[in-house]
Structure 1
Amino acid sequence: MSDAPQVICPGCGAVNRVPAARLAEGPRCGQCKAPLFQGKPLALDEDGFRRHLRLSGVPLLVDFWASWCGPCRVMAPEFEAAAKLLEPRLRLVKVSTEEAQALAAELQIRSIPTLALFAGGREVARHAGAMRARDIVAWAGRALAGTTA
């Protein structure tokens, strides 16, 4: 992570540069003044995912899910709890494989829920299957420790 990573506003989509040392201080968007981190996953469509992947200086932890999937529904509150623990070190996002079928195919998402961690614009780790919040946090920490992002 750079000394001032880019952070995309979940409200207006503006790109903000935030000194890394100030990420945990509750930074707000320079354009709309909304909090840049809200302690909850951000729902993204394919274009939103690609924008975050391309522009965000904060690693992305993505939950690929579907509304009809029982394990996905069970994991949803766990993923939300993990967001409270992992932000602002990571941006947690949800991508519906029903709505982003081409993206899911491109990334070879074969089962859901699937968690994928992206750092520096590339996938660095993947886990298929539901997890509890504490396990999500531990898994993401281990995966990030193995990157140079």
Structure 2
Amino acid sequence: MIQQVVCPHCLRTNRVPSERLGDQPNCGACKEKLISAKPLNLDNRAFNTVISRSDVPVVIDFWASWCGPCQAMAPEFDKAAAELTPRWIFAKVDTETEQAIAGQFAIRSIPTLIVFQAGREVKRMSGALNAPQLKQWLISG
């Protein structure tokens, strides 16, 4: 099966066989890595492209630098990303700098996690989680 994956560097959509997602494929256009075990930082332009064109589910952490629970969860989110990539793409949206995105998705408390599949929200949770809790939440359908 072929998966569409958006390059986090140039935002080009790449077609990658599912069995090759774990092989650290490179973008056909810019030659950078398509999938990183570290969360992407998304701005408005990248956000819409990544969630709408990626076949791989995208887990987004909506956070802010002043938020204590967000700061506590950040290393746990990084741990989960390192363990669960490429099954999921992990990304972060700073709600202070990307207020339009936060408003569009009615983010009322942070941290809030949303999973997008083919451009649609499929799962949401508010509150800080540690890495095992985050993995359980993602895997439990």
| TM-score between both structures, scaled by the size of structure 2 | 0.95
- Displacement after TM superposition at 1:13 (Å): 2.0
What's the counterpart of residue 75 of structure 1? 73
Looking at structure 2, the residues matched to 92 and 79 of structure 1 have their Cα atoms a distance apart, in angstroms, of 8
| Residue type at the aligned position of 1:73 | Q
Select 2:23's aligned residue among 22, 25, 50.
25
Looking at structure 2, the residues matched to 26 and 40 of structure 1 have their Cα atoms a distance apart, in angstroms, of 13
- Residues 23-62 of structure 1: pairs in structure 2 closer than 5 A: 23-62=21-60
Looking at structure 2, the residues matched to 100 and 9 of structure 1 have their Cα atoms a distance apart, in angstroms, of 20
What's the counterpart of residue 132 of structure 1? 130
Looking at structure 1, the residues matched to 43 and 8 of structure 2 have their Cα atoms a distance apart, in angstroms, of 13
Looking at structure 2, the residues matched to 32 and 128 of structure 1 have their Cα atoms a distance apart, in angstroms, of 36
Which 4+ residue blocks in structure 1 deviate beyond 3 angstroms? none
User: SS where residue 94 of structure 1 aligns?
Assistant: strand
| TM-score between both structures, scaled by the size of structure 1 | 0.90
- Residues 109-148 of structure 1: pairs in structure 2 closer than 5 A: 109-143=107-141
Looking at structure 2, the residues matched to 12 and 46 of structure 1 have their Cα atoms a distance apart, in angstroms, of 14
What's the counterpart of residue 87 of structure 2? 89
Gaps of 5+ in 1: 144-149
Gaps of 5+ in 2: none
- Displacement after TM superposition at 1:32 (Å): 2.1
User: SS where residue 57 of structure 1 aligns?
Assistant: coil
What's the counterpart of residue 10 of structure 2? 12
- Residue by residue, what CA displacement relative to the aligned partner does 1:56-93 show, whole Å, maximum 9, x if unpaired? 11111000000110110111111111111111111100
What's the counterpart of residue 98 of structure 1? 96
Of stretches 98-107 and 74-83 in structure 1, the one that deviates more from structure 2 is: 98-107
